[in-house]
Structure 1
Amino acid sequence: MIHQLEHGNSTIAAAILDVQFPAYRIEAELLGFDGIPALRDTVADIMACNETFVGYRDGENLLGLIAYEKSGPELDICRLVVHPSSFRRGIATKLLEHVLEQEAPDRATVSTGRENAPAIALYKRFGFTEKREIEVAPGFFISSLVREMK
């Protein structure tokens, strides 16, 4: 079931981190880069965040989430994570599809590690195209992707 998460609640914020940390640890291993800022988030960081969080639950268990910021017709996806125990179940696809349908942005943006082939493939399936690469640390690059609807 997909629904908005009240991340201002400390219990919900902790549940978000329980999904986020293992997911980003896998990404860090895949990319060979452990400087992903989300690996240093705290419950207080999540609670104070201005992002909108949407989660995917199987009963009481939070299995994945997407977080974004929307400004007018533009949407910026800040994080999309699935707990490693739930990989390959289509959860990221369902979350991304839900947010793009619900928010119907004219333009959506997202950034991910250049070497994160699974994430880049997912975004490309939804019509995102790679626009630029940014070196955020020596030898580590982020790919920025954009989806234009109008």
Structure 2
Amino acid sequence: MIALLKIDNQKIAEEILHVQLPAYGVEANLMNFHDIPPLHDTVDSILGSEETFYGYWKEGKLAGVISVEENKQHLQICRLVVHPAYFRQGIGKQLVQFIFETYKHIHRFVVSTGEQNVPAIKLYGTFGFKEFNKIEISANIFIICLEKIYS
């Protein structure tokens, strides 16, 4: 089940971190770069976030999280994380699909991920996301920016 997460609740913020930190730990290992900003998030930074969070609940546990920010130009997928214990169960795909269904009025969706994060790139590719930018964040460490445009 996917539901809106109220991030003004400390327990929910803690649960988000319980999913986010190990998930981004996997991405950090794929990138061989352990200074990914979400790895530095705290309960307080989650509580203070302007993002809208949705969670995927499985058997009473938060298994995945997606957060977004909407502006006049596009919807930014800020984070998509699945706890490693729930990898390869289609949770990430369901969360992205949920965002498309929830934000039907949006014509451009944007997301970024590590260039070495092949599973994420493949997932976004199945939804028609295409690379439009590449940013070097450290020596030979790149983030790619992907977009999906509906006409």
What is the TM-score with the length of structure 1 in the denominator?
0.97
Q: For the residues of structure 2 that align with 1:15 and 1:119, how far apart are their CA atoms?
A: 22
* 1:8 pairs with 2:2: no
Q: Which residue of 1 aligns with 2:82?
A: 82
Structure 1 ranges of 4+ moved more than 4 A: none
In the TM superposition, what is the alpha-carbon distance from 1:98 to its structure 2 partner? 0.3
Structure 1 portions without partners, runs of 5+: none
Deviations 1:119-147 (A, max 9, x none): 01111110100111100111110000010
The DSSP-based 3-state class of the residue aligned with 2:17 is: helix
Q: For the residues of structure 2 that align with 1:33 and 1:111, how far apart are their CA atoms?
A: 15
Q: Which amino acid aligns with 1:127?
A: G
CA RMSD in angstroms comes to 0.9
Q: How does 1:1-150 map to 2 (within 5 A)?
A: 1-72=1-72, 74-104=74-104, 105-150=106-151
In the TM superposition, what is the alpha-carbon distance from 1:101 to its structure 2 partner? 1.1
Count of aligned pairs between the two proteins: 150
In the TM superposition, what is the alpha-carbon distance from 1:73 to its structure 2 partner? 5.7
Q: Which amino acid aligns with 2:5?
A: L
In the TM superposition, what is the alpha-carbon distance from 1:59 to its structure 2 partner? 3.1
Q: Which amino acid aligns with 1:121?
A: K
**Amino-acid identity (%):** 45
What is the TM-score with the length of structure 2 in the denominator?
0.97
